[in-house]
Structure 1
């Protein structure tokens, strides 16, 4: 059995992928990861330290030097290379490559480390293109794997000056989301019966960044439905510090809104999906939205926005609904909109989250409320459509395992 390195640190779903049994190879290093611990950057230690001007300057200067050494194309390294026969690198080329590897790309432009302003600088672009070409033509680099069709299209569109269309393209492989093994026929029938008997519609919202992923609009849609006389229960899983004070007060006074900390292990998450009817995810910024795939595979129809790759999972009026995202941080060619410091950098999520904390889109509130009513009235159709579509999708466990099996065996193991 060959040992293939998978980038670390990693998210929980990536760790689940690492623990799959593949043919002829293992992914490593193994680790125990019970939940994703991703919160808004402004609450992190590094961000707090950056409040001190000297420390902020030193951190940014160090990052600038590393980027300049890499010719503005960030690269990664890892310890213990002698223990591996290949690697899957997450959104980075391998520094000083001495083994066959592939690069797994989530976002159209993340190969630049979210420093798009350098690529927009015409003086630097030719230098970056030369470095990109050098990395691509390295015999050890076997090709790109993309999280979604959208990320692939954006990638080849954005870098058309250096890449020929689909050059070294291996495949699109969605994130590995495990099936809900706690879901059974009794749970499905119980949920259908609850809504047939006009019991409360149970809504679920999960995100560590409350405002960025539409939490404010969800609260207002919930309040609108309550005023209309509907019976609603809302469960919010989030980083409580990210909730604006106005909505904290509303939540505290409403016994039908339950807030949980966003540190749920797989079993807790599955049980939560099994206890709710609809997932709400009206996000204003996303790339793949793992929680949507988790919900769909648990039979929850999803009300969300048409952000980036999300339309690849949602079949309108079958397993959910799409609402237009009014915040356009990509143009029609999938290039970051201007100004780049807001829409094309590491702080984009933080910027939009801050903006959304004080901005409400009433048309999204109305759309969410309307779609909740539609789904709840025909819930039996929606839950079975959702489960059927998920089983046949390209994000099923079997499809993802088979694709990785084929890529690693064909491009790394059989080409040693």
Structure 2
């Protein structure tokens, strides 16, 4: 017990010493040690970890870019870029893990059919069904008894329920029933509840605490993952039993367009269907929640948008995907909302291949992690997209969004 206690006390000091030694080694031996950044970030990844756990890492990166420029050091072996053209930043590392990239490209090409104009037109009745259900449920809340009307309506929840039902239908062949029950499906609740836990596991994995990660992964806390996989497999199996083709994402993933033969294994399909369901639900709900907040806190903008919509349609049957995309003010409001409340504010990391490569005009040594942080770009006061006036390509040239507090 005494030995275990001593080791437990020494572990933080050993971890800190190891981090500092690695940081010093990288600083003095790396070719990229001239890239600016706070001194603490040069020698340790602990500052990044702190802001990650605190939940303000994207805004922290934006402050670093504002102080140090378009390239800043996040950790001894990690750089953040504020490059507007992502392609130029990542072109140099395009050959990394060629096999995985080819597999990803193959899946992406198949999935793209599910987002084509033809598929989207075919999916519109499915989507419209859930939008109508959302409106009907909210109308019941608004016109019900005094007790019902007094209950606070959390639009974030309602939007999450709607989008999860839509994506569940398009991605797994069946709704999660969130809107009907006005509550989260157990699978949806499992997914949302484990997002924060995944952040902690990411931190532990970065500290190379493999045993701790394995022990946690084997605990009852993370057994929900197995339950989640089982539920996805069950819904997917029922979807594949359908003989009639449905205009959904599964159909575009698994069937050869020539002979209709299933060409993807069930485990691969389950992984991709689960990822698609998660990626397409919370992200969309985040954007729409932000848009509703901005509109309801800017009455002038809301009024102008309402006038555009009401003057464009005589009946709700005229409201379609194609028709709403022709409303310039609505599109501009969504674009501004997407800039202010982007669903994925963090950078998508890439690792520079062995031997190094030029990235955004600078030579970066191999093994360095690089990423473009969209939040920093969106909130950069030096860029044209910043401010209260949004310029959009419209027949009239520019479109002003008055009053949207993009930064406040």
Taking structure 2 as the reference length, the TM-score comes to 0.28
Instruction: Decide which structure has greater helix share.
Output: 2
Q: Highest Rg: 1 or 2?
A: 2
Quick one: higher RCO (CA 8 Å, sep 6+), 1 or 2? 2
Taking structure 1 as the reference length, the TM-score comes to 0.28
Instruction: Decide which structure has greater strand share.
Output: 1
